[in-house]
Every structure is written in C-alpha cells, then in structure tokens.
C-alpha cells in the first residue's frame, strides 16, 4: 500500500485506489458495497493527499520507519478551522475536514469548501485517521474534543437519490469528474489519455470539467473528447423484452 494512492470511501474506510477501482468494477449495474462495512458505494473517491503525506512521513522508504516521527499538527489540520482535525471526514474529492466544521457548511448539497466538488453522501468520520490523531496528538485532540462537544450534526435526508436506470449504463466505468459509478446516460471519453483512460458523465462534460482524473491521467482541456455510446444494457433489455413476448 503506497500513501500516494489511498482513498477514503464515503463510509470512512481506506483502500488502495487500484484495489478499490477493481473491486467496484465487479459491479454490474448500481455500484457495490464496502468490503468492510457493506455500506453502498456509488462514487469512486479521489486519492486523499493528506493521508498520503502522513504515511510518506512515517514510512519514507529509507531507514527505520519506527524512528520517523516528524508529523506536526499543521500537517493534519482542517481546511476550515485550520486546527488539528477532530472527527476527520474525508470528502469524495479527497480533502479532509473536521466533522463539526462540516456542520457549519450550509446548502442542500454538501460541497468541498476548498475545490467546490460535491460530496455525494452524508459525511462520515474516517476511523483510521481518527485513531491515529488520537494516539499521536492525545492532549491536543482531547482539547479539541472538549471544544467540539455539543456541536449538532448535519441534518440527514436533505439529498434525494435518483432512481437507478438500467438503460444506458456503462458497466465498470466511473466519471473522473464527479466520481459517479457507474456512468449512466451519455459518456464522454478522452481520445488522448492513456490507460486507464479518462471518462466524464454528461453533466461533467457539459460543465467543462478539466479534472486530472482519479488515476493521475493529467487530463487537460485541450484533449479531444468523444461521445461513447457503447452501452451494454439496451441490447440486453431488448433481448429480454423479445424473449418475454415470444413466451407469451
């Protein structure tokens, strides 16, 4: 597991990004479940650079990793309050906030205050990162806990999920912009990005997303995009409809 390639899912569990992408690709239609807690995963997250930096400092790849202890509270600070993260929540874009700070973010749709990317689910505490912070900064973390006691949580149920559409589903392909997985409807693929390629859903394509991609594709606005209509399910549904008619 390399620190540069760690992703925290909406449920708070951390995986290698390639392992997670492969695991999610095994789904046929509606995404899949977290292999740890079975929470539904419908969006592929971005790499969490903060967790990557922590692991890189602790395990630089040279010498005795147990002797490395150079992490400061500034390295693991919330992007809103600029203090040590408390009940850290990793959003789908990879940026990390204190859970209490996210309660101050208004609006129906939770958006990252740093990059503006939408978060597709209710924020969840990343238990792995939380346990590390409690152990490494025990006194400071306890102080943050005292300050944050009594802070209300974000109200749940503000987002309405869209019904699943079996038609026009791109099996095993997610959007490198918003992370929706799999892409349903129109899919736009980059003609210049090398494997694993870069794909955008119609919404991200129409809004001019120039995301680098979730696998370091380094996509730019100058790259040529093409509409990919290689849907799997329309033919399958038509076949099942014809079979049903023949049997009745």
| Residue of 200, 194, 207, 197 whose CA lies nearest to 182 | 200
Flag whether 156 is in a domain.
no
On whether both 132 and 15 belong to a single domain, the answer is yes
Write the CATH number for 116. Answer: 3.30.40.10
- pLDDT > 90: percent of the chain: 22
Q: Are residues 74 and 10 in the same domain?
A: yes
Looking at the chain, list the stretches that DSSP marks H as alpha helix, in order from N- to C-terminal side. 17-25, 49-58, 99-102, 127-136, 138-148, 202-206, 233-247
Across the chain, mean pLDDT equals 76
CATH of the domain at 181: 3.30.60
Whether 24 and 41 have beta carbons less than 8 Å apart is answered as: yes
Q: Identify which of 54-58, 129-133, 207-211, 232-236 has the greatest average pLDDT.
A: 129-133
Pair 180, 143 in one domain: no
What average pLDDT score do residues 150-178 get?
A: 59
> Using an 8 Å Cβ cutoff, are 80 and 93 in contact?
no
Question: Is residue 244 pLDDT above 70, yes or no?
Answer: no
Would 112 be classed as within a structural domain? yes
The reply to whether 115 and 191 lie within a common domain is: no
Long-range contacts of 51-60 (CB under 8 A, 24+ apart): 51/3, 51/6, 51/8, 51/14, 51/90, 51/96, 51/129, 52/3, 52/4, 52/5, 52/6, 53/3, 54/3, 54/132, 55/2, 55/3, 55/6, 56/3, 56/4, 59/3
Structural domain boundaries, residue 42: 3-148
| Same-domain status, 18 and 125 | yes
- Tell me if 131 is assigned to some domain: yes
**Of 180 and 245, which is predicted with more confidence?**
180
Q: In the chain, how many domains are there? A: 2
Say yes or no: 28 and 139 in one domain.
Answer: yes
For residues 121 and 67, state if they share a domain. Answer: yes
Query: 136 and 175 in one domain?
Result: no
Q: Does 153 reside within a domain?
A: no
Question: Higher-confidence residue: 190 or 166?
Answer: 190
Residues 11 and 119 in one domain: yes
The residue-averaged pLDDT of 7-20 equals 81
Mark whether 69 and 12 lie in a shared domain: yes
Spatial separation of the C-alpha atoms in residues 45 and 176, rounded to whole Å: 9
Model confidence over 132-158: pLDDT tens digits? 999 999 999 999 888 876 655 554 433
**pLDDT in the model for residue 150:** 60
Query: Confidence band (pLDDT; 50, 70, 90) for 47?
Result: confident
User: What pLDDT was estimated at residue 164?
Assistant: 43
| In a shared domain, residues 194 and 144 | no
Asked whether residue 158 is assigned to any structural domain, the reply reads no
Q: Is the pLDDT of residue 202 over 50?
A: yes
Contact 214, 46 (CB under 8 A): yes
pLDDT at 189 over 80: yes
**Secondary structure of residue 210 in the 3-state scheme:** coil
The rounded percent of the chain whose pLDDT value lies above 70 is: 74
């Amino acid at each position: 597991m390399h620190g540069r390639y760690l992703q925290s899912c909406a449920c708070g569990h951390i995986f290698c990004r390639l392992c997670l992408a492969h695991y999610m690709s095994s789904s046929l239609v509606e995404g899949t479940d977290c292999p740890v807690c079975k929470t539904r995963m419908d969006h592929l997250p971005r790499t969490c650079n903060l967790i990557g930096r922590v692991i890189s400092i602790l395990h630089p790849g040279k010498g005795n990793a147990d002797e490395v202890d150079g992490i400061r509270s500034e390295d693991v600070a919330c992007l809103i309050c600029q203090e040590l993260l408390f009940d850290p929540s990793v959003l789908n874009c990879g940026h990390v906030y204190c859970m209490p700070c996210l309660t101050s973010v208004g609006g129906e749709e939770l958006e990252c205050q740093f990059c503006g990317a939408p978060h597709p689910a209710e924020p969840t505490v990343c238990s792995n990162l939380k346990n590390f912070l409690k152990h490494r900064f025990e006194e400071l973390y306890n102080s943050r806990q005292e300050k944050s006691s009594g802070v209300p949580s974000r109200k749940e149920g503000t987002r309405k999920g869209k019904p699943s559409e079996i038609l026009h589903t791109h099996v095993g392909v997610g959007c490198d912009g918003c992370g929706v997985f799999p892409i349903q409807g129109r899919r736009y693929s980059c003609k210049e990005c090398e494997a694993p390629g870069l794909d955008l859903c119609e919404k991200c394509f129409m809004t001019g997303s120039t995301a680098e991609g979730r696998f370091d594709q380094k996509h730019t606005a100058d790259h040529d995009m093409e509409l990919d209509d290689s849907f799997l399910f329309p033919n399958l549904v038509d076949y099942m409809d014809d079979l049903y008619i023949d049997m009745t």
